[in-house]
Chain A
Amino acid sequence: METPAVPQSAYQPVQRSWFQRNQLKLAPWLFLLPGILFFLIYVIWPIAQSFYISLYDWNGLGDIHEQGTYVGVQNYVELAGDRNFEISLWNNLKWLVLYLLAIPAGLFIALFLNQNVVGIRIYKSLFFFPFVISQVVVGLVFQWFYLPSNGLLDSMLGLVGLGPLNVLGDPDLATYGIIVAGLWPQTAYCMILYLTGLNAVDPEQVEAARLDGAKGTRMLWYVILPQLKPATFIAFVVTIIGALRSFDLISIMTNGGPFGSTRVLSFYVWEKSLSERGFQYGYASAIAVVLFLIMLVFIAYFLWSMYKEERAG
C-alpha cells in the first residue's frame, strides 16, 4: 500500500501561547511574586497604617473610627514638646554613634584571630559566642555584672579603691552601660564579617605590597582595608540598624529607667502602645513614624551606595 504524498500547501507557524511568548520577561516576576506580596502585606501596609493611625487619638481598643478621634497632626505637635521624646532621640543618637565602635573593635579582633595556630577554631567560636546567645541573656549577664555592691564591676572597682558605682541606677551612666552590653555581641558580629572578608584578601597584592616595603599600619590602611570594603559596608549597615532597633537590652536591663533616662524611640513606642499602661496607639504611631523617617535616611543611603556599586561593577 502506498500512501499518497500530501503536498504541504502552506507554511504553518508553531502556535505559542501568550505565556510562552513572554516567558523570559515573566519568569523573574513570578519568582519575585511571593516576596513582593509578603513585603507589601507585612512591610509596606503596616507603614501606611502607622501613618494613618498617627493622625488619630486612639487607645488601641475597638474600632479606630468608633473609639478614636481624628486629630490631624496633633500627635506630632505634642511630640515636639515631649521631654521623654527628646530624651529618647538623644539616646538613639548615643546608640548610633557609640555602637559604631563595634566595627573597629570587630576588625581588630578579626585581624588578631586571623592566624594559624593550634585550636584557632575554638578561639574564634568563643569570640563569636556572644552573638549566638540571646540578647536577653546578654542583658541579664551585664545586669549582674553591673549589680551595685555585689556585682563583678563593683568588686573590681573596690579592689583598686574606687566605687561604689551603680551604673544602671545612674541616669547619666545607664545608657552607656547598656550600650557597652550591646557592643559585646555586635563586636562579635562585625568580627565574623571581617574574618570572612579577610579570607578573600588577595595574597598576591599583599606579597606585592610587601616587596614595596609596606608593613604595619600602612599595609593595613592601603592594602588590606580597601579589599575589606564590602565587609565594612555590611558591618556598617547591620550596626546602624542594630543601634536603631535596640530594645531587648533596655527592656531587660533597666526597663527604660531610672525615671525614663534610658528610653530610645523603639522602647518609647512600645511603652506608649503595648506596655501595661500604654493606651496611646495614635501617639505611639507618631513616634514610630519619626523613627521610620530616621531609618529611611540610612536606608536611602545604603540603597544608593549599593546602586552605585552595581553601576561601577
Chain B
Amino acid sequence: MHSMFKASIAALATTAVMAGSAIAGGHDDKLTGDLRIFLDTSNPAPRATMEEMIARFQEMHPDLNIETTVIDREAYKTQIRNFLTANPPDVATWYAANRMRPYVEAGLFEDISDLWAEPAIAENLASTKGALTIDGKQWGVPYTYYQWGVYYREDIFNELGLTEPTTWEEEKANCQVILDSGRKCYTIGSKFLWTAGGWFDYLNMRTNGFDFHMALANGEIAWTDDRVKQTFANWRELIDMGAFIDNHQSYSWQEALPFMINGDATAYLMGNFAVAHMREAGLTDDQIDFYQFVEITPGLEKAEDAPTDTFHIPSQAENKEAAREFLRFVVSAEQQTIINNGENLGQLPVNASSSIDQDEFLEQGFEMLSSNSPGGIAQFFDRDAPAEMASVAMEGFQEFMVIPDNLEDILQRLEAARQSIY
C-alpha cells in the first residue's frame, strides 16, 4: 500500500509521434478463448474500478472468457517474477520506466510498438510514450497517473496569515512562522524510504534542474559533485530549522498522516493519492489545499514528478490478440474518463482526449503538469534510477534526514555504489 504511487512514471517529454503506418484500430473479428488478467489494484476503490471496467469489456466481447486475479499490491511486486516465467497471464499491471527494465531485458514483456503505431494511441498517449519506451520500443500502456506537490492545511495557513509560497525564501519564512506557532512545517514518514526520495527529487530538480536530475539518476554525474552538495545544503536548511516531524524514520507514510490531520504539522509533500486519505480522516476541502513545490534556483524551469501505472502483455501470454484489444480498450478516451474520475481512481487520465473530473486537486494537478512544468516530467526517484542505486540512495537520504552530519560519508557511499552499478 505504501507504494501506491511507487508506480511508474509519466515522462511527458514528448517524443516524436509516430504517425502513419496505421493499423486500423477496429478489429471486427470476434475475440474468443480465455483472457487472464492479473491486477495489483487490491485496495477497495481501485479494485472495484478495475472490475467494473473489465465487466464493460466483457460486455463488448461476450465470447471471451475473462478470468481476473487480484493480488495484494505489495505481494504482487515479488510474485511478478514468478508468474511472468512460470504461469504468465495475458495482461498484467506494473509500472513504467526503469521499473519495467529488468522484465523487458529478460524478454518477459511483449513488444507492443505496433499498438503505439496506431493513430488512436500514438496521438492521444504521446505524453507518456517516453516512460514506456526502452531501446526504442514500447512495452506497455499507461492507465493512470497523478501529480506530486505540497498538500497543506489551508485553515492553519489562514490562521497564521500565510499565503502559498512561490520562492525558497518565502517557503522558509512561512515555515519559521509555523514553527513559532508550535507546529512542524512538514510531516513525513520515511520508514519505507521512498518519501525521502520525493523530497530529494524536488529539491534537486529545483536546485539543479531536470536535465541534471536525470543525468544523476542515470549515473552520469558523481554524487560528490558540488551541485549535488548544494541540493543537500538546501535540504539541510529545513532540517536544521526543525521543519520535519521528529522520529519520521519510524513511520510509514500513512502513519505520518495523523500529524497533518491533527494539525501538528501543516504540510505534506506527497502524491495526489494522499488526498483521499485526508478526506476520509475528516478534513474538508476548505482545510486542505495544494501548491506546486517552490522555485529554488531563480529562473530554472520547473519540473515535476508524476508516476504512472501501466498494463503489459507478458511475452509468453497465450491470447495476445485479446490482450492487445484489452489494452486499446483501457487507454480509450471514454474508459480513461470513467476510471480516473473522483468516484473511481481519482487520478489523471492518460488519454489527451478524455476529460478530467471536477476536482480541486485533479484540476490543479493537471494544470500544473500541462502548463507549469516546462522543465519536464520526471519519474519518481526509484523509477528514474536503477533499482540497486535507488535502494542505496534512498537509504542515504533517510540517514541524512536523521543525522545530517553524516552527509560526507553518505555521499562517498553513494558515489562508490554509482561506480559499481552503472
Chain A residues with CB under 8 Å of chain B are 59-62, 67, 78, 83, 147-149, 166, 168-169, 171, 254-255, 257-260, 271, 274-280
Give A233 Cβ to nearest chain B Cβ, in Å. Answer: 38
Residues of B within 8 A of A149 (CB): 246-247
Cross-chain contact B250 with A168 (CB below 8 angstroms)? yes
The answer to whether B106 has its CB under 8 Å from any CB of chain A is: yes
In angstroms, Cα B388 to Cα A204, docked, is: 65
Residues of A within 8 A of B193 (CB): 257
> For chain B, which range describes its interface: under 10, 10 to 19, 20 to 34, or 35 or more residues?
20 to 34
Give A215 Cβ to nearest chain B Cβ, in Å. Answer: 49
Give A59 Cβ to nearest chain B Cβ, in Å. Answer: 6
26 A-B pairs whose Cβ atoms sit less than 8 Å apart in the complex: A60-B81, A61-B108, A62-B108, A148-B246, A148-B250, A166-B249, A168-B250, A169-B247, A169-B402, A255-B192, A257-B191, A257-B395, A257-B398, A258-B249, A258-B399, A259-B395, A259-B399, A259-B402, A260-B395, A271-B391, A276-B77, A277-B382, A277-B387, A278-B391, A279-B387, A280-B388
Cross-chain contact B399 with A62 (CB below 8 angstroms)? no
Closest to A283 in B: B388
Residues of B within 8 A of A62 (CB): 85, 106-108
**A259's contact among B247, B382, B398, by CB below 8 Å, is which?**
B398
Interface string of B388-422 (1 = CB under 8 A from A): 10110001101100100000000001000000100
The answer to whether B25 has its CB under 8 Å from any CB of chain A is: no
Closest to B398 in A: A259
Cross-chain contact A166 with B399 (CB below 8 angstroms)? no
Interface string of B1-21 (1 = CB under 8 A from A): 001000000000000000000
Closest to A143 in B: B250
In angstroms, Cα B397 to Cα A278, docked, is: 19
Cross-chain contact A169 with B102 (CB below 8 angstroms)? no
The answer to whether B78 has its CB under 8 Å from any CB of chain A is: yes
The answer to whether B103 has its CB under 8 Å from any CB of chain A is: yes
Residues of B within 8 A of A255 (CB): 191-192
In angstroms, Cα B102 to Cα A248, docked, is: 27
* Top 7 closest pairs, chain A to chain B, by CB: A61-B106, A259-B399, A277-B387, A62-B106, A148-B247, A258-B249, A169-B250
Give A86 Cβ to nearest chain B Cβ, in Å. Answer: 12
Residue of B3, B106, B413 contacting most chain A CB atoms (<10 Å): B106
In angstroms, Cα B103 to Cα A166, docked, is: 40
Give A37 Cβ to nearest chain B Cβ, in Å. Answer: 23
Give B200 Cβ to nearest chain A Cβ, in Å. Answer: 14
Give B278 Cβ to nearest chain A Cβ, in Å. Answer: 20
Residues of B within 8 A of A278 (CB): 387, 391
Residues of B within 8 A of A67 (CB): 105-106
In angstroms, Cα B390 to Cα A62, docked, is: 23
Residues of A within 8 A of B391 (CB): 271, 277-278
Give A88 Cβ to nearest chain B Cβ, in Å. Answer: 14
Residues of A within 8 A of B390 (CB): 277
Residues of A within 8 A of B246 (CB): 148-149, 166
Residues of B within 8 A of A271 (CB): 391
Cross-chain contact A169 with B107 (CB below 8 angstroms)? no
Cross-chain contact B247 with A59 (CB below 8 angstroms)? no
In angstroms, Cα B247 to Cα A279, docked, is: 30
Residues of B within 8 A of A169 (CB): 247, 249-250, 402
**B102's contact among A61, A83, A148, A257, by CB below 8 Å, is which?**
A61
Give A52 Cβ to nearest chain B Cβ, in Å. Answer: 19
Residues of A within 8 A of B103 (CB): 61
Closest to B420 in A: A78
- Assuming A166-B250, A168-B250, is B396 touching A259 (CB within 8 A)? yes
In angstroms, Cα B399 to Cα A278, docked, is: 20
Residues of B within 8 A of A78 (CB): 420
Cross-chain contact B388 with A257 (CB below 8 angstroms)? no
Please name 16 further chain A to chain B contacts, defined as beta carbons within 8 Å, in addition to the given A61-B108, A257-B249, sorted by A numbering.
Answer: A61-B81, A61-B102, A67-B106, A83-B413, A148-B246, A148-B247, A166-B249, A166-B250, A169-B247, A255-B192, A258-B249, A259-B395, A259-B396, A259-B398, A260-B395, A274-B78
Interface string of B61-84 (1 = CB under 8 A from A): 000000000000000011001001
**A277's contact among B85, B247, B388, by CB below 8 Å, is which?**
B388
Give A179 Cβ to nearest chain B Cβ, in Å. Answer: 17
Closest to A270 in B: B78
In angstroms, Cα B231 to Cα A55, docked, is: 39
Residues of B within 8 A of A259 (CB): 249, 395-396, 398-399, 402
Cross-chain contact B399 with A59 (CB below 8 angstroms)? no
Give B210 Cβ to nearest chain A Cβ, in Å. Answer: 23
In angstroms, Cα B402 to Cα A148, docked, is: 15
- Assuming A61-B103, A169-B247, is B81 touching A258 (CB within 8 A)? no
Residues of A within 8 A of B249 (CB): 166, 169, 257-259
Interface string of B81-93 (1 = CB under 8 A from A): 1001100000000
Closest to A259 in B: B399
Residues of B within 8 A of A275 (CB): 78
Give A65 Cβ to nearest chain B Cβ, in Å. Answer: 13
In angstroms, Cα B192 to Cα A161, docked, is: 32
Closest to A254 in B: B191
Give B80 Cβ to nearest chain A Cβ, in Å. Answer: 10
Interface string of B164-202 (1 = CB under 8 A from A): 000000000000000000000000000111000000000
In angstroms, Cα B395 to Cα A260, docked, is: 7
Residue of A257, A260, A279 contacting most chain B CB atoms (<10 Å): A257
Residues of A within 8 A of B108 (CB): 61-62
